Amino acid sequence: MQTLLITGANRGLGLEFCRQYAAAGDQVIAACRRPGQAEQLQALAGRYANIEIQTLDVADLSQIDALAQKLVGRKIDVLLNNAGVYGDQAGRGFGQLDYQTWAGVLAVNVMAPLKLAEAFLPQVQRSDKRLIVALSSLMGSMTDNTSGGSILYRSSKAGLNAALKSLSIDLRPAAVGVLILHPGWVRTDMGGPNGLIDVQESVSGMRNVIDKFNLADTGRFVKYDGSALPW
């Protein structure tokens, strides 16, 4: 049995990660901003005793430190950074960019995963798997960007990729792995109804990639099916 800390656990991919890992018998620490309003997550925790719910707003760095202190004696095999925001709005592209919103997107999508890695590194090092995972997006790829737009989201995911690539090099001597995952275009609140795959397929694929991870794979940017993606 492994232990996972999953952020943004109240809906979409995060909720499905919790469901699949709990069903497999793993210990799940499910973190979200407002557990009292997370009805689906609460119902899931009612079905699986191996899900524990913790309050965490990843945009509040002090909350990350507080949760790390609360869980100071635990081991975390997989730190799964799922929480993320989109931010871009119709009519607010170049020329009318919302810089306050952009700062918030960067805080959640870039800074929070690195802060979580810093805060929870002792728990990860205490585990057997010793893996930090972050959900990025193909929209963070420079090579793949042929359509422009979505400046807030694209820049945040490109920044996340760059930061995690550096982190993978920094942590490799400590035998801690870093994996950067693209979940595909998924039918979620963020991905919209026109997504190409559902959450079950995406999460099942990503779980398979996580399960097969070894340190030789650290720093890779891969799709949910394990195929490599361009930076």
pLDDT, tens only, 47-63 = 999 999 999 999 999 99
Q: Is residue 111 in a domain?
A: yes
Q: Is residue 183 in a domain?
A: yes
Its pTM stands at: 0.95
- The CATH number that applies at residue 123 is 3.40.50.720
Residue 190: per-residue pLDDT: 57
Q: Is residue 109 in a domain?
A: yes
Residue 10: per-residue pLDDT: 98
Residue 82: per-residue pLDDT: 98
Q: Is residue 26 in a domain?
A: yes
pLDDT of residue 111 exceeding 60: yes
- State phi, psi for 105 to the nearest 5 degrees: -65, -45
Nearest 5°: the CA angle 219, 16, 10 is 100
Average pLDDT over residues 151-173: 98
Q: Is residue 229 in a domain?
A: no
Domain that residue 10 falls in: 3-223
Q: How many domains does the chain have?
A: 1
Q: What DSSP letter does each residue of 70-137 carry, written as one string?
A: HTTT---SEEEE--------TT-STTS--HHHHHHHHIIIIIHHHHHHHHHHHHHHTSSS-EEEEE--
Q: Is residue 206 in a domain?
A: yes
CA separation for the pair 16, 44 (Å, rounded): 10
Tokens of 90: 């119709």
Which has more pLDDT, 194 or 116? 116
CA separation for the pair 81, 87 (Å, rounded): 18
Q: What is the amino acid identity at position 213?
A: F
State the chain's mean pLDDT as an integer: 95
Residue 192: per-residue pLDDT: 56
Q: Is residue 230 in a domain?
A: no
pLDDT of residue 195 exceeding 80: no
Give pLDDT tens digits for 129-156. 999 999 999 999 999 999 999 999 999 9
Q: Is residue 46 in a domain?
A: yes
Between strands 131-135 and 177-182, the pairing is parallel
Q: What percent of the chain has pLDDT over 90?
A: 93
